[in-house]
Chains A and B, each alone.
Chain A
Amino acid sequence: MSTYTHEQLGLTKEQLLQMFYYMVLARTIDERLWLLNRAGKIPFVVSCQGQEAAQVGAAFALQPETDYILPYYRDMGVVLVFGQTARDMMLSSFAKAEDPAGGGRQMPGHFSSRKHHIISGSSPVSTQIPHAVGVALAGKMRREPMVAYTSFGEGSSNQGDFHEACNFAGVHKLPVIFFCENNQYAISVPVIKQLGCEHVADRAAGYGFPGVIVDGNDVLEVYKVVKEAADRARRGEGPTLIEAKTYRLAPHSSDDDDRSYRSREEVEEAKKKDPLVIFRRYLVDNGLLSDTEEGAIREKIAKEVNDATEYAEKAPYAAPEDALTFVYAD
């Protein structure tokens, strides 16, 4: 676990338990989504399992009231910290009218909510990265003390948009955090076939700002590096590229079978570094999480996820003709 204690990072017990809550919430929603998918109730799941520490640690280092996030499709932990709920996730997965991301227009994982400073994303990867730079540019022009955070996988760091966006942000020293969740696979293609360099973080040097590698299974380490990057951005010192080394514990999506490209032994080995297990151990070892407290958190989450599932399943779809609305503003 972390080379820094939570005291050194200025985090209270209450904050740590909040982080734990969000990590378990993300995992629990995700597990429920797979059940619903295998039961034939929802068409599609794209999973965050294994990446919760990276996501919650990063989001906790930001300020939801001033900062903007441009997450990628696995970032359930990030959007939950920014204020979305289990109900929002379920409404999106069931594609119901109340889905805040767009009333059931997009697949799940395409998070969006103006209210929560979450900018709508698409499926072609990396397109959100220049948008984050533009948000940061606008923030700088409007003299706001804000940070734009965008995340993506290591495969996405090969796209032209990643490189064009990094370069633009580097030239203009914009308050943006490029956060790579390197989960080792772009669907089936391993990192060794994705990157010409060893680390995604190595690429930052070419754009004139720091590239930082962090253990993505360690929520406190992630919090620390993202906090430093956010502080740096707010001081006007420009962008940071952070590469969180993680592992995707589930297949790419509910339509993927990962047994065709990676061994069960490899996945079992990765589960030993499950970020939830690691963080729970830290909390227990430091006397920050009693059985009673953990029981209460898990009970609260179970109720939230059950209520959300029930609500979303019963919620109405948008009218079919709603498909014709909002092509333009008028």
Chain B
Amino acid sequence: MAVKLYIEAIHDAILEEMRRDERVFVLGEDVGVRGGVFRVTAGLIEEFGEQRVIDTPLAESAIVGVGIGAALHGMVPIAEIQFADFILPAMNQIISEAAKMRYRSRNDWGVPMVIRAPYGGGVHGALYHSQSVEALFHHVPGLKIVAPSTPYDVKGLLKAAIRDPDPVLFFEHKRCYRLIKGDVPEEEYVLPIGKADVKREGTDITVITYGLMVHLCMDAAEQLAKEGIDVHILDLRTVLPLDREGIIDAVKKTGKVLIVHEDNKTGGVGAEVSAIIAEEALFELDAPIARLCGPDVPAMPYSPPMEKFYMLNSEKIAAAMRKLAEF
């Protein structure tokens, strides 16, 4: 088993899928000659040419809309939105078109397409290079939304997304790209969309999270282990559809739940997770459901002290874990 960076695992997934299936192609701003501003698609244009690795005009709605059209005519596009913050001009194409195509045509047409977007903060990206936008799409049936945390997961889930017959939004935490390393098997594997994963077994409190926060929660859990508090960590991996069974099983493990996400609190994915628990596992709870999220401000400021204030870290998470454990 090789140790790979998160970003390498994404690159490898795209490369292998393009080699496996000639219908798969990449389009987006700077994805070709430059290999992506984060270098995710580096080297692909050399192997597959500019017909299959398309540097598009700067126009997000067209990147998604043209991708939809290509998907409708037998291709499997992987569209890159350079930063998740810039996906908003394409929102009408994603919500009105990609998400509804199968439904409105009663299964006559479908959109097998992946829309990749780096999201999240802690990279001095200020308001418009730091946002978590998954909740904006979480409300939309017809979409699938994946936000993996490890190189192993990101590779297996991106392959699943590419092979999925429906549109998948694939959010990659940009802080994970070169920070997170992990084992990735040499051999081919695909992971199921819609299945959460237990990242740490524990008996005292349950933490439900996803993305970069998984790693901060793991660090916090190690701190708490020294204090004799045993934390169970569930990584959602897919935020739409949520793994209801996985969530309830994780709640049953400890009866105390903390939900952690970087996105702001109001109307976030954590709100839906809380509602699932309240509806289906209320009597498993030994404490009120707790949420630790980004503050309800428009986005993350640029100044380092303000950015640090906005971002969650393992100390803040450890404090929230401790408080819940003591309840």
Residues of A within 8 A of B (CB): 68, 70, 100-103, 105-106, 110, 112-114, 119-120, 122, 124, 127, 129-139, 141-142, 148, 160-161, 164-165, 167-168, 171-172, 325-330
Contact = CB atoms under 8 A, between A and B. Distances in A.
Given A127-B97, A138-B75, A133 B105 contact: no
A113 B70 CA distance: 17
A161 B67 CA distance: 13
Nearest to A127: B97
Contacts of A105: 103-104, 106
Nearest to A100: B108
B74 interface: yes
Contacts of A124: 92, 96
A165 B100 contact: no
A133 B96 contact: no
A164 B102 contact: no
B166 A164 contact: no
A141 B51 contact: yes
B241 to A, nearest CB: 9
A132 B72 CA distance: 10
A179 to B, nearest CB: 16
Nearest 3 Cβ contacts at the A-B interface:
A134-B69, A130-B65, A164-B62
B104 A138 contact: no
Residue among A131, A148, A172 facing the most chain B CB atoms (10 A cut-off): A131
A75 B168 CA distance: 31
Contact of B69 (A106, A135, A171): A135
Given A120-B101, A141-B25, A327-B141, A165 B70 contact: no
Residue among A119, A130, A325 facing the most chain B CB atoms (10 A cut-off): A130
24 contacts: A103-B106, A112-B104, A114-B109, A119-B72, A122-B104, A127-B93, A130-B64, A132-B69, A133-B69, A134-B65, A134-B73, A138-B73, A141-B75, A161-B61, A164-B57, A164-B59, A164-B61, A165-B62, A167-B59, A168-B66, A325-B107, A328-B102, A329-B166, A330-B165
A136 B69 CA distance: 8
Nearest to A124: B96
Contacts of A122: 96-97, 100, 104
A172 B105 CA distance: 29
Contacts of B102: 326-329
Contacts, number: 143
B238 to A, nearest CB: 13
A120 B105 contact: yes
B60 to A, nearest CB: 8
A134 B64 CA distance: 9
Residue among A110, A167, A168, A325 facing the most chain B CB atoms (10 A cut-off): A168
Contact of B105 (A112, A127, A134, A165): A112
Nearest to A168: B62
A238 to B, nearest CB: 15
Contacts of B165: 328-330
A133 B166 contact: no
Contacts of B144: 328
Interface in B65-89: 65-75, 77, 89
A134 B73 CA distance: 8
Contact of B65 (A68, A106, A161, A326): A161
Nearest to A144: B73
Contacts of A70: 69
A20 B166 CA distance: 41
B174 to A, nearest CB: 25
B151 interface: no
B92 A134 contact: no
Contact of A102 (B25, B73, B92, B106): B106
Contacts of B100: 122
Residue among A124, A135, A148, A160 facing the most chain B CB atoms (10 A cut-off): A135
Contacts of A112: 104-105, 108-109
Residue among B97, B102, B104 facing the most chain A CB atoms (10 A cut-off): B104
A223 to B, nearest CB: 25
Contacts of B142: 327-328
Interface in B249-288: none
Given A134-B71, A164-B57, A329-B166, A120 B65 contact: no
Contacts of B66: 130-131, 133-134, 137, 165, 168
Contacts of B166: 328-329
Contacts of A137: 66, 69-70, 75
A102 B105 contact: yes
Contacts of A330: 165
A103 B110 CA distance: 16
B56 interface: yes
Contact of A138 (B70, B89, B101, B106): B70
A168 B103 contact: no
Contacts of B61: 130, 160-161, 164
Nearest to A130: B65
Residue among B101, B102, B103, B142 facing the most chain A CB atoms (10 A cut-off): B103
Contact of A134 (B51, B68, B106, B108): B68
B72 A134 contact: yes
Nearest to B77: A134
Given A122-B104, A164-B65, A326-B107, A171 B57 contact: yes
Contacts of A172: 54
Nearest to A70: B69
A133 B101 contact: no
A328 B100 CA distance: 9
A327 B166 CA distance: 9
B73 A68 contact: yes
A164 B165 CA distance: 26
